[in-house]
Structure 1
Amino acid sequence: MTAATSRLLNLLSLLQTRRDWPGSTLAERLGISHRTVRRDIDRLREMGYNIQATMGPTGGYRLDAGSELPPLLFDDDQVIALAVALQAAAVTGVGIGEAAVRALVTVKQVMPSRLRHRLDAVDFTTIPAVPGRGFAASVAPDVLVAISTAIRAHETLRFDYTTGGPAAAPPLPAPRRVEPHHLVTSNRRWYLVAWDLGRDDWRVFRADRITPRVPTGPRFTPREVPGGDVSDFVSAHFKGSPRADRWPCHGKVVLHLPADRVRPFAGDGIVGDLGPDRCSLAVGSWSWVALAAALNRFDADIDVVGPPELADGFARLAARNARTASGSS
C-alpha cells in the first residue's frame, strides 16, 4: 500500500469516528501539513464521500451522508459484527435472505485471512423471538469466537459467569466447566447451550455474562439436546417448559373487546372473533398467575373458559393485589 493511499485510509478512519474534526487536529494526528489535509479531503470527495467544511477559528471537516454509497472502511470488530449480522439476517425469513447472503460473500471476499478465520469460527442458530424476553445485550466478538471455536473443536469450555441485575454478583470463584454444543441468537441476545459438567444437566447461558478462560479443556463426544432440535429446546427453556416447546400453562378466556383491538397485542396467542364486542383468546405463560396478570393488561372484563387453574390464578392475583392496595404484607 502506498504512503498516499495509507494516509487516505487513515484520514477516512478518523472522519468516521466523530462528527467534526478541526483541520489542525487532523494534520497533527496524521503528521502532515494543512495543505495536504485539504488535498486529501478533495480526493475523498472525488471518491464519493460527502465531506463538508465546518466554520470555526481553525476550520474543520465533517463526514456527512451522501447520495451514493462510497467505499467503506471498517475496523476488525466492525467487520466481524457486520458479517455476523448478515449471517443472522440470511435466516430470519424477512425477505432479505438472498441479498444478505450476497452481501456476506462480498464482505468475506475482501476480508483479511485473519478475520475470515475468526468469522468462519462463528457458527450459530437463529431462533424466533419469544414474547416476554429481555432487551438486547451486547457481546464482545472475541467471546462469540471463543465459544464457537470450542463448539466446533468439541473442547470443554471453562468460563466465569455473572448473574444479572443492577447489583450483579461477581464471577464465581471456580469457573463453570461445560461441554459447549450450540451458539444461539434470539431477541437480540446470544446464548450458549451446553452440558454443565458440574450439574450433570443441560443449561442455557447468556453469552454476555460469559468470560471465557484459557486454555480450553479436553475434547468430548457431542450429545444430542433433548428432543433433538436446539431451536425447540431453547424456545422451551424460554417458556419455562422442561422439554417441549410450549408454555407450561395454557388457558382460554373470553375478552369483552372486539377482536381487532386484541390481535395486535396477543403475541403468540390465538384470537377468535365472537362479534362486535367480544373475542376469545387462547394463550400461554410460564405460570397461572403470570397468565392472569398478562390477560389483565387488556383492561376489560374477562370470562375464563378454562382450565380451572387459570381461574385460581386470577383469584391468587386478586388476593395479592388486594394486599398490595391495602398496604399489608
Structure 2
Amino acid sequence: MLETSARLLRLLSLLQARRDWTGPELAARLDVTTRTIRNDIDRLRELGYPVEARPGAAGGYRLGVGGALPPLLLDDEEAVAVAIGLRTAAIGSIAGIEESALRALTKLQQLLPSRIRHRVDAFQHALPIPSRGPRVDPEVLTIIAGACRDHERLRFDYRAHSGSASRRSVEPHRLVNHRQLWYLLAWDIDRSDWRTFRADRIQPRTPNGPRFTPRALPPDAEIAARVERRIGEATWHFRARVIVHAPAAQVRDRLPIPVDIEVLDENRCAFEPGSDSPELLALYLGMLGADFEVVDSPELAVALGNLIDRYQRAISGHRASE
C-alpha cells in the first residue's frame, strides 16, 4: 500500500509538471506497465483529480480542470517561490488580488516546514513598496501565461504607447517583469518579427488560437537584453543615425540601455539612438566621451548647434577675464 501511495504522488507530480504525457512515457518514468498507469489514473480520479485521457495507439493523459481544487505538490524551491510571490501580490503588484493573495499566504505558511519558513521569513525584512504604475488585470495575466505555457496562439486588441489601437495575432513566448511592469515577448505573425507588448495594454480575444511549435530563441540573458532594448525603443519619439569615432565596445559600455551597434571598423561604429526630443538626444550624445557624426538628421543637427551656442555663451565671460 505504501508503494502504491508513493507511486501515485510521483505520478501526480509528473502530470503537474507537463501538459501532455503518453502512457508509455509515464510507465517508463515510474518503471511500471501501462496497465498499472491506467489503474493509477483511475485512483487519482477517485481522489478528485480531473485526469483527462486522449485516445490513440499510444494513449495520452493530461491534468484537466475540475470543479474543485485538489491538493498540489510543491518541492522546497517551489514552496519558497510561491510564498514570496504571494507576498509580492499582497502589496498590490497586480490589481484586485491583494486580499486573495494574503489569504492564500496565510494558509500556506501554516503548512510550511520550519526549514522553509525560515527562508521565507528572511524576506520580511525587505521594505515593500507597492507599484504606482499601471497594474495588470490578473485574469489577463493568467490568459497570457496559459497561452505561453500551452504554446497556443494569442489574439488580442492592443493599445500602443502613442494611443493607436491595433489587433494582433502572436505566438506568445514568455512573460517578463521589468521595473514593476509585465511585458509579453511574442512572435508577431502579421509582421513576421519578434515584438514586445505591455501586458496592461493587452485585451485578449478568447478563445486562444491553435497550438504552434515554439521558435528557437537565444539564452535567457539575450532575451532579457532584447526585451529591455525593445522597451526603451517603444517610448522614443525621435530617432537618429549616428557614427561614433570609438570602438563599439566602448560605446556600448557608455549607453544606459542595450542597443544594436553596427561595427564599421575597429575605431568606428554606428547606431540609432532615440529620445523624447532632439534636445535630449543631443545632451546624451555629448556624454559618450567620443567624437561623432550626425547622419541625415537635421533636427538633431539644429539641437546640437543650439547647445553649442548655449555652452559658448556660458563660458564667454570666463574667457574674457583671462
TM-score, normalising length: structure 2: 0.41
Q: Is the helix fraction higher in 1 or 2?
A: 2
